[in-house]
Structure 1
Amino acid sequence: MIYQKLRGTDLKVSEIGLGTNAVGGHNLFTDLNEVDGIEMVDAALQLGITFIDTADIYGKGRSEELIGEVLTRYNREDVVVATKGGRRWFADGSVVVDNTPQYLRSALESSLHRLKTDYVDLYYLHFPDNKTPLAEAIGELAKLKQEGKIKAIGISNVSLEQLKEANVHGDISVLQSPYHLLDRSAEQKLLPYTRGNNISFIPYGPLAYGLLGGKYTDDFKLAEGDWRRGQPLFEKEAFKKSLKIVSSLKELAEEKETTLTNLSLAWLLSQEGIDAVIPGGKRKDQVVLNSRTSDVTFTQKDLDMIEGIIKS
C-alpha cells in the first residue's frame, strides 16, 4: 500500500481509501447486510487501508455507528476518519441542508458520539445550503479545528465560485467532488484551482457508481429506490455509450493483466492533484480487489490509449 500526505495537512493516508455509504446506508441502498459492512471495514484496515470516508447522512447515523464499532478494535491514531455534516434529518423522514454554525457544531458532536472518538481527522461540509454564507459555515469549522475536534476541513458538492468563497481564509484542505473516467468535468475548473491552492482533490464515485466495475450489460436496470436512478450516467443513451467505452477499457485492462476496477482507480491516481481515491463497496472481497490498484503502473502509451478510448 502506498501512503500520501493530504495537502495542507499533517494527515498521511493510504492512497486507496474506503467509501462507506453502503455500510449501514439503508436510506441509500436496499437489502444491506450490516455484518458484511462491518467485515468490509475491518478487512480494509487489516489490508493497510487507513483512510475511511463516511457521512452522518449515510443511514442517518448508522454508517458512523458501525464504523465506530470497528474503530474500537484498532489504535485510533492509525486510522484517518473522514465524515461529513450539514444535512439535517427529522423524525418524519424529511432531510434539509443546514449550514448554520449552531447546527454544524451539534452535527459534529453527534458524529463524534457515534464514531466513539473525540476528534475527526477530516470533516467536510457535505452540501451548501445556499442560505448560510459559506465563509460563515467554514468559519465555525475552523473554530472546531482550533478546539481540537477536527484536524482538517473539507468541502464537497460545490462549484468553483462556492469553493473560492469557502476558502476565502485558506481553511479548506480537501475538496471532494465527482471525477472518474466517464465524467471528467472536474478538469475544467475545479482541479486547476485545487492544484494551484494546495488543496487535495478526493474524487467520489471513482468507479462511476458501479459502471467501471465492468459487470453491467445492456439489460441492466436499477432497483426501485436505488439512489443512482437519478444519475445522468444511467439514463438510457448515456448508459449505452458508457458500456461501449467500458468494453474497450476492459480489453486494455486485460492486456495489462489487471482489472477494469484497478485500471480506473489507478488512472485517477495518475492525475496531478489526486492524492487518494475512496471506492465504496458492500463486501470485503471488493476491498481486497481495490487494494491491488497500487500495483498498476502506466506508460505514456497506456495513458494515450485510455485518452483515445474515452474520446472515441
Structure 2
Amino acid sequence: MKYRRLGSTGLHVSVIGLGTWQFGGEWGREYTQEEADAILDKGQELGINLIDTAECYGDHLSESLIGDYISRRKREDWIIATKFGHHFHERFTRTDSFDAAGVVAQLDASLKALRTDYIDLYQFHSGPDQAFDNDELWTTLDKQIEAGKIRFLGTSIGSNDNLHQTEASSRVNARAIQVVYNRLDRAPEERVFPSCQQQDLGVLARVPLASGYLSGKYKPGAVFGDTDVRHRHDKESTRLKLLEVEHIQREEVPQGIAMASWALAWCLKHPAVTAVIPGCKDPEQVEANAKAVDLIAEPHPQDVG
C-alpha cells in the first residue's frame, strides 16, 4: 500500500480507501455484521487505513456496522471520515439538516454509532452554498474540535465544480475536499483541483469507478434492479456512458490490466488527488481495488514513507 499526506491535516492515509455507502443498503443488498467485518478485515490486511461513511447511509447503519467492527479492533489503526447534513428517512429519501444545533446532534449520533470518542475527518455533505455560508455552523464545529470530538473538518462538494465552497475551505477551517472524479467526469481538473493545490487541501476522489460503470463489467443496455441506486440514473445517459467505457477499455486500458484497477490508478496519478474511496461489495473487490497501487510508478507530491 502507498500512503499520502491528507493536505495540512498531517494524516497519512492509504491511497485506496474503503467507501461504505453500500453498507446502508442502497446498492442492491443488505449487509450483515460478519460481511462488513470481512470487508474491513481485508482492507486492514492490505494496508488500507481510510474508511469513508456518512450519517445518511441507512440512518447511521453504515456507521453502526463500522463502529461494531472498530470496537473490537484498535481505533488508532483507522482514519474515519464521516459526514453531516442529511437525515435518512427510507431508501433514496433524505432531507437536509445543516443548522448548527442539528449538526451537533448528528455528530453525537455518529460518535455513538461509530463507538468512538472522535472523528478524524468530519465533512459538510453536499449541501447548498447558503447552508455552507452560515458562520454559526462553522463556529459551532470549531468548538467541537476544541472539545476533542472532531480532529479535522472537510467538505464533500455536491457539484464537482463547486469553486465557491472549495475556495472558502481555508476560511472555514476545512482541510480536505471530497469530490466526484473519474475518467468519465474530469470537471474538477479545471477549477477545483488548482484551488485545492493552492490551499494544500487533501482531495478524496469519490465515485472513482463512476458508480461501477468503469469496472468494465457492464455493457450498454445493462439493467439494474429497483433496490440499486443506479436504477435511478437516466437510462440514456447510462447507455452513453457505457458506450464510452467500451471505447476507453479498447483504446486506453493496457492488455492484461483489469479496468477497475486501471481506473483507480488513473485518478491517483493526478497531483491533486490524495486518495480514492471506491465502494466494495465483498473482500474480493477490496483486493482488486488495492491492486491499483501496483500501477502507480511515478512519485506523487503527497507521497509519504
TM-score by length of 1: 0.86
Match in the other structure for 1:45: 44
Deviations 1:236-274 (A, max 9, x none): 1x334333332243344342x321111111111100110
Match in the other structure for 2:146: 146
Match in the other structure for 1:95: 94
Contact 2:129 2:165 in 1 (8 A): no
Match in the other structure for 1:33: 31
Asked if residue 108 in structure 1 is aligned to residue 107 in structure 2, the reply is yes
Contact 1:85 1:126 in 2 (8 A): yes
1:246/1:120 Cα in 2 relative to 1: closer, same or farther (>3 Å)? same
Match in the other structure for 2:303: none
Match in the other structure for 1:162: 165
SS of the equivalent of 2:7 reads coil
1:205/1:73 Cα in 2 relative to 1: closer, same or farther (>3 Å)? same
Task: Measure how far apart 1:98 and its partner are.
Answer: 1.2
What amino acid sits opposite 1:249 in the alignment?
I
Asked if residue 84 in structure 1 is aligned to residue 83 in structure 2, the reply is yes
Identify which of 184, 187, 205 aligns with 1:185: 187
Match in the other structure for 1:199: 201
For residues 240 and 128 of structure 2, the distance between their equivalents in structure 1, rounded to whole angstroms, comes to 34
Deviations 1:159-180 (A, max 9, x none): 2113334x25251111111110
SS of the equivalent of 2:179 reads strand
Contact 1:98 1:129 in 2 (8 A): no
For residues 173 and 124 of structure 1, the distance between their equivalents in structure 2, rounded to whole angstroms, comes to 10
SS of the equivalent of 2:276 reads coil
Task: Measure how far apart 1:76 and its partner are.
Answer: 0.8
Contact 2:119 2:150 in 1 (8 A): yes
1:245/1:94 Cα in 2 relative to 1: closer, same or farther (>3 Å)? closer
SS of the equivalent of 2:275 reads coil
Task: Measure how far apart 1:33 and its partner are.
Answer: 3.0
Match in the other structure for 1:276: 275
SS of the equivalent of 1:177 reads strand
Identify which of 221, 224, 230 aligns with 1:222: 224
123-132 or 56-65, larger mean C-alpha shift: 123-132
Contact 1:250 1:259 in 2 (8 A): no
What amino acid sits opposite 2:113 in the alignment?
R
Task: Measure how far apart 1:289 and its partner are.
Answer: 0.6
Q: Any unmatched runs of 5+ in structure 2? A: 299-305
| Alignment RMSD (CA, Å) | 2.2
Match in the other structure for 2:301: none
Contact 1:13 1:50 in 2 (8 A): yes
For residues 163 and 37 of structure 2, the distance between their equivalents in structure 1, rounded to whole angstroms, comes to 36
Asked if residue 9 in structure 1 is aligned to residue 9 in structure 2, the reply is yes
Match in the other structure for 1:286: 285
1:8/1:92 Cα in 2 relative to 1: closer, same or farther (>3 Å)? closer
For residues 247 and 152 of structure 1, the distance between their equivalents in structure 2, rounded to whole angstroms, comes to 40
SS of the equivalent of 1:107 reads helix
Asked if residue 120 in structure 1 is aligned to residue 119 in structure 2, the reply is yes
93-102 or 136-145, larger mean C-alpha shift: 93-102
Length, aligned pairs only = 292
Matches within 5 A, 1:209-288: 209-231=211-233, 234-236=234-236, 238-251=237-250, 252-255=252-255, 257-288=256-287
For residues 198 and 110 of structure 2, the distance between their equivalents in structure 1, rounded to whole angstroms, comes to 32
Q: Any unmatched runs of 5+ in structure 1? A: 300-312
For residues 87 and 45 of structure 2, the distance between their equivalents in structure 1, rounded to whole angstroms, comes to 33
SS of the equivalent of 2:27 reads coil
